[in-house]
Amino acid sequence: MKESARGKAAVGKERYSDARGYFDDDLCEFVITDMFPKRPLVNYLWSEDAVADADQFGFGKSLAGIGSFRRGLDCGERLVYIKDRKSGELYSPNRNYGRLPFEQFRCHVGLGYQKIVSVYNGLKVTFTLLVPDAGYAVLYLAEAEELAGKERDLDLYFALRPQANLTVHTSYGSADRDKEFGGLCYPHFSYQAETDYGCLYFASEHGFTSYCVSKGDFCGTYGSWEHPDGVAAQALPSRGTTFEDDYVAAVSLPLRLGPREQKSFAFALAAGRSAAESGALASSLAKTSVFYSQLALQKEKNASYQRVFRAEIPDPLLRSLGNTWLKRQLSLGKTWGRIYGKGFRDVMQDIAAFVSLDIPLARTRILYTLAKQYGNGNTIRMFEPDLLLPYNDGAAWIPATISAFLKESGDFGILEEIVPYLDGGEDSVLGHMVRGVEYLLGDLGSHGLVLLRGGDWNDSLNGAGNLNKGESVWLSLATVKAAKECAEILEKLGKKEEKERILGLAGRLSENILIKGMSGGHFIYAYDDWGGVIGGEESEEGKFYLNPQTWAVLADVGDRDTQNAVMDLVEEKLKCAFGYELCAPPYTKGSDRLGRVSYFVPGMVENASVYVHGVAFKIAADCRLGRGDLAFDTLRSVLCTNPKVQASGVEPYAVTNMFIGPDNPYRAGDAPMSWVTGSAGWLYRDLTEEIFGIKAEFDGLRISPVFPSCWNEAYAERIFRGVLYKISYRRTGRRRIAVEGSEIQGDILPPQTGKDSVAVTVEY
């Protein structure tokens, strides 16, 4: 804590802000000040058991991950209402439907919580959500504080929407007040149920005076959340129901406040295998004291992530993102994938970025995820729920993650851990990795390139390889990169023969890529099943793809001149006002020889959007080629420092999966898919490992910055193998690194055993 406090003090005080709010780096918050921004601004809250999202009103959805089953908890409105008992006047402090003249509104987007604070008529109401550190549950806290020095005779209502129905048969479901714990119970137990967790339970710390369990009762048949008949009435109807599409958990409580008095109301929604189990859990969690201790846990956990890397960055937004928010976003990915499911490739990449933040948890996640590999070396496309399509790239992502883990932790024991295969059998972690690489190196087509099969990173090129003839240049490059990472580990283990064999195959694959994988001076994307070129000048549309160029650099295929040349073409062909297109020109004609990509509207997703994952690869490639200014400009072009990005309405604190591409006739530049993307992990590594150049290696910490020319000095702190490295950078025009004043050879700091911290000076 001491160290990090010092580091924090050293960070400049200027902060990013825009019309919607500002970063409060001291509290690790983004504070939303505009209650009605262009589009809702979303936060994610999660544990290993449950995940929730919440916008600036606190609205959103939550679900529990019960094995591979996703059980909904709540979804949609989460509403506090305040009703004056005398006048009947009614408003919602966290939604303000009527756009009343609130004296104040703030939504504190926090690490592990979302807190909405409003003041109206001298009444301060705070509504906070969090997901507890364990359990299939979500917690809600409503706090009211009298500010005007008056007596208040109010009622507080709280309403949310339990996702009680687990099947289409609403006849299984009912809801009513429960006698044992006094909360509201929503059982839905079905024949041949997909989950045992058939019961939701809503608990209220202080009980309630009236309640309601259906939307019809709460809003009224012809009412709405804005004008709920139930709240307008004297009391909620307090009756059970069954056969509902829309359940509600709504309660009313008296809220009598003296001058300056404050009261708090904790609520919890939990899932369980019975009314008793879910009731016990929800009741134990619906306590103000529990809420605050859980809030403290969240802050503590996130503080430890803050300390691992902390930098003074002469760009306020990049500082908030790099020190805080990118870590948060990639941590979501490493546990929850893309929420709707966990892509093998996605989770592997997120873990690779996550290892420095929490080594034990990263280790657990690696072992868990490797069990989703088949015995032949290929992997599942997605798990939880399983998606069994024959995608072919999964194994290519394993070595980078294993390598990152080994280099960060020095824990080579993981390589001997035994992990089962998805379809039977088992092997060590090392065996998993090698088998995956050998699978890819052997799965070649007629051009000697790796088969595309159902698809690769480009999920939507899913019509080009199903006959098992189409070959992917990008996947071939990824395979070369994976083979080299694998070989580096084998070398470290002294397995020279295995290493040489893999490098030999990778070398031949590299040659094939250079001979068969280029056209018109750049790397093509693939050959389809009929031998047609995808991503070449001869292609009718989609003539130039981003990822094969950047991955040639990342895999170090071709000489430096070739790499520079193709990256120059990237600038020429793909650059737009908010990043780089994934391919150009977009497809306008659906083709079954390509797949989904060609049917997407131009500018959408893989069809020539600015796919930020691709942009993140490009930044890494820029850095590898020493193009610091390009890397920096590219990074800033996809963040809210770019006015066009800000105008899209995207959260300043979250990276979007894509910007709708410049060729889209309708919504070019819009950013509708934030948070849930592998971009965050890559951008974090771009910033920390490529731009700041701080990278774990087997033999120590490498420091090899590629700064933009506008940065003449910088400062970063990095905890590596228990030692805090305090790294001061200064531009001098010569490369020189000194540890505690002593110059070292090369750019790898040797292990600093026995020390708590060391000062490093880097000239560049």
Query: Which residues are near its own copies by CB under 8 A?
Result: 36, 38-40, 169, 171-174, 176, 189-192, 221-222, 224, 226, 239-243, 462-463, 590, 592, 595-596, 598-601, 603-605, 607, 660, 664-667, 670, 672
Q: How far is the CB of 604 from its own copies (least distance, A)?
A: 4
Determine how β-strand 174-177 pairs with β-strand 152-162: unpaired
Nearer to its own copies, 316 or 465 (CB): 465
Nearest distance from residue 756's CB to its own copies, in Å? 51
Residue whose CB is less far from its own copies, 36 or 537: 36
| Residue number with CB closer to its own copies (189 or 412) | 189
For residue 513, report the phi and psi dihedrals to the nearest 5 degrees.
-60, -45
CB 464 within 8 A of CB 594: yes
The residues pairing with 568 across neighbouring beta strands, listed in sequence order, are: none
Considering the complex, what minimum distance in angstroms separates the CB of residue 241 from its own copies?
A: 5
Give min distance, CB of 175 to its own copies, in A. Answer: 8
> Which residue, 135 or 343, is less far from its own copies as judged by CB?
343
Q: Strands 69-84, 90-91: parallel, antiparallel or unpaired by DSSP? A: antiparallel
Say if CB 144 and CB 158 are below 8 A apart: no
Q: By C-beta, is 595 or 700 nearer to its own copies?
A: 595
How far is 617 from 549, CA to CA, in rounded Å? 10
Distances (CA, A) of 523 to 227, 420, 513, 516, 567: 59, 37, 8, 9, 10
**Which is closer to its own copies, CB of 30 or CB of 611?**
611
Residue 568 is given by DSSP the state: H
Q: How far is the CB of 218 from its own copies (least distance, A)?
A: 15
| Shortest reach from residue 591's CB to its own copies, in Å | 9
CB 251 within 8 A of CB 236: yes
> Per residue in 172-184, is it b (16+ CB within 10 Å) or e — as a string?
bbbbbbbeebebb
The smaller minimum CB distance to its own copies, of residues 482 and 601, is found at 601
For residue 70, the minimal CB distance to its own copies (Å) is 15
Q: Is the CB of 558 or the CB of 595 nearer to its own copies?
A: 595
The CB-of-609 to its own copies minimum distance in angstroms stands at: 9
Helix (H) or strand (E) holding 749: strand 748-749
Report the nearest approach of its own copies to the CB of residue 190 (Å). Answer: 5
Chain length of the chain: 764
Burial of 623 (0-12, 13-18, 19+ CB in 10 A): buried
Closest by Cα among 178, 244, 168 to 207: 178
Strands 757-763 and 723-730: parallel
CB atoms within 10 A of CB 224: 10
Q: Which residue in this structure is represented by tokens 């990049």? A: 318
Which lies closer to its own copies via its Cβ, residue 603 or residue 628?
A: 603
**What are residue 441's phi and psi, to 5 degrees?**
-65, -20
